[in-house]
Chains A and B, each alone.
Chain A
Amino acid sequence: MDPFFLWIEGLPLSVWLREATTFWAFPTVLILHTVGLAFLVGANVAIDIRALGGMPGVPLISLRRYYRWMWAGFWVNAFSGVLLLIAYPTKALTNPLFYVKLAFIAVGLVVAQIIRGYLMRGDVGANIAAPPRLRLLAAASLLIWVVSITTGRLLAYTCSRLTVDTTCG
């Protein structure tokens, strides 16, 4: 894989992201990735709290609108994530934890879509109490995002190679 990593690390965009001292390079990408995370996980948290009984007066179906913000957050993070990957491909792709993080995000998105299916069902959407299976899904969703966040944060501490030629730490 090293020739592939070397090729990406030599791209002008990769060099600029890593080495430019401007605010608009790495710092901005990291800010986007953090704010995107807040909207992606935040929208899920609100929906999960409702499904688990945290705000009983809110009709389940009315929360469907927050999926727009969830997906907006996801796309901001897919975009900024690809930029971070272009900046440091070796760092992420040689770390097994990175694949764990991606897998958990994928499962989290699938669970969110299954939950959406429940919200849109007429009989569930108007009800006060969520059915047991929806509660279980909401609890799983919270756990999945906790793991995604933790693995994501740990990437900075568990990498072995920063670039093809340099090691981490």
Chain B
Amino acid sequence: MRIGLLDVWTTVNQWIYDLWMSVMQWDWLNDHLRSLLNTLYYTPMGEFLRTSTWAWPVFESLHFMGMSLLAGTIVMFDLRLLGFARAVPVPAMHRLIPFGIFGFLLNMSTGICFICATPDQYLFNAAFRWKVIFITIAGLNVMFFYTRVFRRLESFAAEHHAPPIGARLVGGVSLAAWVGVMSAGRLLTFFRP
């Protein structure tokens, strides 16, 4: 029997699902998470998003703007790390990152508001699990970048130099992780429990 890509996908997804469910059924975490979600559910923000007609669409639009900020800063920086647009000096382009952090914080806050409004829709959602995993990969990648690659940034800052393998790796992983975050985010509605 041939093993296709779909089998690999199904197996990995099942494995992540099992892992997530074992975490979800972990009593200590469950008790804390449940009390937290109960608190969040009854926050004025959760209530506001559930009852207001326009709050949800407006927050969604803000979430897409945060995404565009992330894409305009982190993704464009990733492309530079991969060796694209080599005329752009890397240390100067690094000034984009605070704007990316702003986009990320905007999306964390609007995202938390969505979870406050309907926590069960996200916690038992396969797409949400993937999204959390991709965000974690992106976060670990950022840590790797600042501990191992950032200090040597000047060495390939000169115009038209090929970026070292470490920079390419960080750029590639980050780009893939953020495209994964966007895709999983868009899939949330299809996996609502």
Interface residues of A (CB under 8 A from B): 27, 30-31, 34-35, 37-39, 41-46, 49, 54-59, 61-63, 65-66, 69, 145-146, 149-150, 152-154, 156-157
> Within 8 Å CB of A61, what residues of B?
87
> Within 8 Å CB of A156, what residues of B?
57
Within B148-193, the residues touching A (CB, 8 Å) are 178-179, 182-183, 185-187, 190
> Within 8 Å CB of A57, what residues of B?
89, 91-93, 95
**Whole-angstrom CA separation of A38 from B95 in the bound complex:** 20
Q: Are B57 and A153 in contact (CB under 8 A)?
A: yes
> Within 8 Å CB of A63, what residues of B?
85, 88
> Within 8 Å CB of A157, what residues of B?
57
Most chain A CB within 10 A, of B68, B69, B70, is at: B68
B96 at the binding interface (Cβ < 8 Å): yes
Partner of B57, one of A31, A44, A145, A154: A154
B133 at the binding interface (Cβ < 8 Å): no
Q: Are B187 and A46 in contact (CB under 8 A)?
A: no
Q: Are B190 and A56 in contact (CB under 8 A)?
A: no
8 additional contacts (CB under 8 A) given A57-B89, A150-B58, A157-B57:
A27-B186, A38-B179, A41-B71, A44-B72, A45-B68, A46-B72, A61-B87, A156-B57
Q: Are A150 and B95 in contact (CB under 8 A)?
A: no
B37 at the binding interface (Cβ < 8 Å): no
B79 at the binding interface (Cβ < 8 Å): yes
Q: Are A58 and B89 in contact (CB under 8 A)?
A: yes
Q: Are B183 and A34 in contact (CB under 8 A)?
A: yes
Partner of B92, one of A30, A55, A66, A153: A55
> Within 8 Å CB of B190, what residues of A?
27
B64 at the binding interface (Cβ < 8 Å): yes
**Whole-angstrom CA separation of A61 from B61 in the bound complex:** 31
> Within 8 Å CB of A150, what residues of B?
58, 61
Q: Are B75 and A38 in contact (CB under 8 A)?
A: yes
Q: Are B72 and A41 in contact (CB under 8 A)?
A: yes
Q: Are B61 and A153 in contact (CB under 8 A)?
A: yes
Closest 3 CB pairs of A and B: A57-B92, A45-B72, A42-B71
B107 at the binding interface (Cβ < 8 Å): no
Of the A-B pairs whose beta carbons lie under 8 Å apart in the complex, a sample of 18, sorted by A's number, is A31-B187, A34-B67, A35-B179, A38-B68, A38-B70, A41-B71, A42-B71, A46-B72, A46-B96, A49-B99, A54-B96, A58-B93, A59-B88, A65-B88, A66-B79, A149-B61, A150-B61, A153-B57
Q: Are B64 and A153 in contact (CB under 8 A)?
A: yes
**Whole-angstrom CA separation of A18 from B185 in the bound complex:** 20
